[in-house]
Amino acid sequence: MAGGVKLCGMKRRSDVREALQLGADWIGTVIGYPRSPRSISIQEAAELAVESDRLVAVVVDPDDSLAAEVIDVVRPAAVQLSGYEEPDRVARLIARFPDTGWWKVLHIPATEGEDAADAERQLRDYIAAGAGRVVIDAGTRAMPGGTGSSASWRLAAMLVGLASVPITLSGGLTPENVGSAIAHVKPAGVDVSSGIEAAPGVKDALAMERFVSEARRAFEAVPRSQSMPLT
């Protein structure tokens, strides 16, 4: 498989079933973050997990009790830390819950600028902390993801070239631009939320179908030496 496709921000079982039928590799759902219109409860997430063993639980700066409850009740394939968790915090969570897959979001700006060195440092620190996958996304502390804003593809491509773990590209992706994003950045996977919605948390079946199809086509065109396998 040339690359992984994650459809995120799921709230409805019908959308999860549709995404799986279309061939999504991962299903993402936001848990316990009231600022997001896509956030659901732990129990609601557990109900979605019944539909798929590839569910990624997206949490923002969770304390140990929330992380433990998500892992115990939802039993996700991975937990995605989408806030501004420091590397030592990431390392502590991984050490406490070693049997869970851990992904870490790295927030980068829309333009490369002087933030490139800082982004590179953060990437290396998160990998050293034990993150099994890094998700590159645009975001702010007020809303760390799901904003529809794009991260710098040029900076993202540089980080992909440096990483020793799979990199997933997120932020502002749509069926119309995902092919170009994959061609430019060459990530191991792509992640979409607002770009496939009829309303926040309500997915559009046609948009999902087009996104998966365009992503698959683009991944197949990336030379294997430049595309890491799905893990």
Q: Are the C-beta atoms of residues 31 and 73 closer than 8 Å to each other? A: no
Active-site residue identified among 8, 15, 25, 191: 8
Active site residue 125: no
> What's the first-to-final CA gap in the chain, in angstroms?
10
Active site residue 61: no
Helices (H) and strands (E) in the chain, counts: 8, 10
Residue 159's alpha-carbon distances to 102, 108, 171, in angstroms, are: 19, 10, 15
Q: What is the DSSP string of 147-171?
A: S-PPP-HHHHHHHHHH-SS-EEE-S
Q: Which residue type, as a one-letter code, is found at position 116?
A: A
The residue among 63, 71, 54 whose CA lies nearest residue 6 is: 54
User: Which residue has tokens 């698959």?
Assistant: 216
Q: Which residue type, as a one-letter code, is found at position 58?
A: V
Q: Are the C-beta atoms of residues 3 and 182 closer than 8 Å to each other? A: yes
| Rounded distance between C-alpha atoms, residue 15 and residue 7, angstroms | 10
Active-site residue identified among 61, 137, 191, 204: 137
Q: Are the C-beta atoms of residues 107 and 142 closer than 8 Å to each other? A: no
Residues annotated as part of the active site:
8, 137
